Amino acid sequence: AQSVAQPEDQVNVAEGNPLTVKCTYSVSGNPYLFWYVQYPNRGLQFLLKYITGDNLVKGSYGFEAEFNKSQTSFHLKKPSALVSDSALYFCAVRDPLGTYKYIFGTGTRLKVLA
Amino acid sequence: DAGVIQSPRHEVTEMGQEVTLRCKPISGHNSLFWYRQTMMRGLELLIYFNNNVPIDDSGMPEDRFSAKMPNASFSTLKIQPSEPRDSAVYFCASSPDRATQYFGPGTRLTVL
């Protein structure tokens, strides 16, 4: 069965420091992987996706993620965190050979401290 | 593009009343999804439409929930009768390729 795990409920990082939000997945075959961000009282905003190709994917607002097939991970990273990056981050996976459904992780709350 | 539009943004109703949530997907997107988000259960997919046809409604909690998509630019999610446990944020999302989904701002439903 497909699954996505975000092992940390919350990540705290100081402004200007690099940040990592972790995501691991379990899906047969080569997955489609996504990161979304949710600000308070807003919908989910698409950040980036991995479908195929280069394992390092660059997305919006300076975020990037690295697909690691051997570790079945897709961690979200940013070299220098901003206070405005504070939000709820969701990892999602879709089996390209299966259904259209996303499986979402439980979300990780990122808090960037000034 | 205005993005996915949902209305109302907030809805407060009393138990037993009918609630209708509305969604306008991004023009040209042929897939539409309804989700529900709660603290306890996270994001749950309720129903998926492709080319206006319901493909999978297995996530609809019970018969009190129904969804329609009469045309490519409009969808509704109806709850009748509503119950307090239906209180949640309901999101609509559309996709041009069934890969990347674009979410609306959500409707916060409170059933008293």
Q: Do A42 and B48 touch (CB under 8 A)?
A: no
- Chain A residues whose CB is inside 8 A of the B43 CB are 90, 104
pLDDT value at B76 more than 80: yes
- Residue B107 near residue B6, CB atoms below 8 Å: yes
pLDDT grade, residue B105 (50/70/90)? very high
**Would you state the pLDDT for residue B108?**
96
Nearest in space to A23 (alpha carbons), one of A75, A97, A70: A75
**Would you state the pLDDT for residue A2?**
79
Q: State the Cα–Cα distance between residues A39 and A71, nearest whole angstrom.
A: 29
Q: Do A90 and B56 touch (CB under 8 A)?
A: no
- Chain B residues whose CB is inside 8 A of the A42 CB are 105-106
Averaged over successive runs of 10 residues, the pLDDT of chain A (114 residues) comes to: 90 97 89 92 91 92 94 96 96 77 91 96
Name the residue among B50, B99, B106 with its Cβ closest to that of A43: B106
Nearest-neighbour CA in chain B from A44: distance (Å) = 6
pLDDT value at B98 more than 90: no
Distances (CA, A) of A87 to A10, A28, A106: 10, 30, 13
**Would you state the pLDDT for residue A95?**
72
**Would you state the pLDDT for residue A98?**
63
**Would you state the pLDDT for residue A70?**
92
Nearest-neighbour CA in chain B from A75: distance (Å) = 18
- Chain B residues whose CB is inside 8 A of the A104 CB are 42-43
Q: Do A102 and B101 touch (CB under 8 A)?
A: yes
pLDDT value at B30 more than 70: yes
